[in-house]
Amino acid sequence: MDITLLEDFLELAHELNFSRAAQNRNMTQPAFSRRIKNLEEAIQTPLVLRTTRQVALTPAGKAFHPRAEAIVRMLSEARLEALAAAGRAQRNLNLAATHALSYTFVPKWLMQVGGPAEIGALNMVSDTHRQCVKLMQNGDASFFICHKSPASAEDLPERQFRCHPIGSDRLVPLCAPDSSGRSLWTLGPGSSGIPFIAYAAASGLNAILRAHWAGHERPSLEPTMNSVLASTNLEMAKEGQGVAFLPLSLAESDIERGRLVRAGGEALDVPVQIVIYRPRSRMSAHCEAFWLKVVGENAR
């Protein structure tokens, strides 16, 4: 079986939309649909339920989905093992990180973990939480650094991936100051209609805030715009467009310079962990050595 058919299926299972999935796979929708049909013929059962309004996985598709993920990742890992056995393995680290952490936290953290000798050739991808998860599922990244909240759902299943905390952060309500240096808006009892700079669905911070507010009182906010990038929300907040819940690790320097001020007390802060993911299966010797360095660094 052509392994790329499994990758097509995983893309469709993620998007549940033929047009978007075909676009992500760089092909026309008719060609993409034929490939999904070819996969179903090979498996000998329908995997996708197609209607005029929506796409859904059949019970067979739901059962097949985690197996397809595992097969794609195992093939990628087998290739790396074969290269290592042939003496052609490179000292590469393929690391994915969300935009919010790749600007400030990750560079500093890497220097604490080790220098160039321990890290080797670093291939770092900065993308949305959703895209980084896909890189891990497809075996295109060995490590993934992101924010994580105990209240939010797990995107990478524990049976396939390990997760280790490497730091802590807070999502803080921030906005631009007025001419006297006070916040343009203040969240609290009686406040209403405050413009909210939100996160789009592809952002992991969106899921963290929704999960947190499901168990806590949600501030009275009116969404005026959304973005997948915390850095975009930060800039919009600085321009006086509304209140944004921003990672303290990202906004700290702007707070110190007075470009952003709190729009509410610390009781509104959302505490989060910064974590690193890796596959449970064995990786290259270089990646395993890096992991031991990470675990050791955070055990001190």
The reply to whether 159 and 173 lie within a common domain is: no
Q: What is the Cα gyration radius of the chain?
A: 22
Mean pLDDT lowest among 29-43, 71-85, 235-249: 71-85
pLDDT tier at 87 (50, 70, 90 boundaries)? low
* Residue 113, both tokens: 């973990």
Same-domain status, 192 and 44? no
The confidence band for 176, taking pLDDT boundaries of 50, 70 and 90, is: very high
pLDDT band per the 50, 70, 90 thresholds, residue 193: confident
Same domain as 184, residue 134? no
- Report how far residue 5's alpha carbon sits from residue 7's, in angstroms, rounded to the nearest whole number: 5
pLDDT at 213: 92
pLDDT reading at 72 higher than 80: yes
Please state, for a pLDDT cut of 70, what percent of the chain lies above it.
93
Q: Are residues 13 and 73 in the same domain?
A: yes
Q: Give me the mean pLDDT over the 20-46 stretch.
A: 92
Residue 73 in this model has a pLDDT that exceeds 70 = yes
Give the residue with greater pLDDT, 101 vs 114.
101
- Whether 108 and 236 map to the same domain: the answer is no
Q: Is the pLDDT of residue 80 over 80?
A: no
CATH number of the structural domain spanning residue 229: 3.40.190.10
pLDDT, averaged across the chain: 88
Q: Containing domain of residue 48, as a range?
A: 3-81
Q: How many domains does the chain have?
A: 3
Same domain, 26 and 150: no
Alpha-carbon distance of 26 to 21, in angstroms, equals 9
Claim to verify: residue 259 and residue 232 sit in the same structural domain: yes
- The CATH number linked to 42 is 1.10.10.10
pLDDT at 277: 96
Q: Are residues 27 and 67 in the same domain?
A: yes
Query: What is the average per-residue pLDDT within 225-233?
Result: 92
Other beta carbons within 10 angstroms of residue 295's beta carbon come to: 13
**Using 50, 70 and 90 to split pLDDT, how confident is the model at 32?**
very high
Domain boundary, last residue among 32, 61, 81: 81
Rounded mean pLDDT, 184-205: 89
Does residue 210 sit in the same domain as residue 178? yes
Phi and psi angles of residue 46, each rounded to the nearest 5 degrees, phi first? -65, 135
> Measured between alpha carbons, how far is residue 180 from residues 118, 175, 176, 192, 220 in Å?
49, 14, 11, 22, 24
Q: Amino acid letter at 161?
A: F
- State the maximum Cα–Cα separation within the chain, in Å, rounded to a whole number: 70
- Whether the pLDDT of residue 300 is over 70: the answer is no
Statement to judge: residues 277 and 229 lie in one domain: no
Domain boundary among 59, 81, 103: 81
Can you give the pTM of this predicted structure? 0.72
Encode pLDDT of 237-269 as tens digits. Answer: 999 999 999 999 999 999 999 999 999 899 999
Q: Residue 114, Cα to own-chain centre: how many angstroms?
A: 24
Range name among 19-33, 113-127, 174-188, 198-212 with the lowest pLDDT average: 113-127
What percent of the chain clears pLDDT 90, i.e. is strictly above it? 55
pLDDT of residue 299: 46
Domain match, 123 and 201 both? no
Instruction: Judge if 264 and 241 occupy the same domain.
Output: yes
Write out pLDDT tens, residues 112-160.
887 665 666 778 899 999 899 989 988 889 999 999 998 777 888 888 8
Domain stop point among 64, 81, 98: 81
User: Residue 240: which region, alpha, beta or left (left: phi > 0; alpha: psi -120 to 50)?
Assistant: left
Banded model confidence at residue 215, pLDDT cuts 50, 70, 90: confident
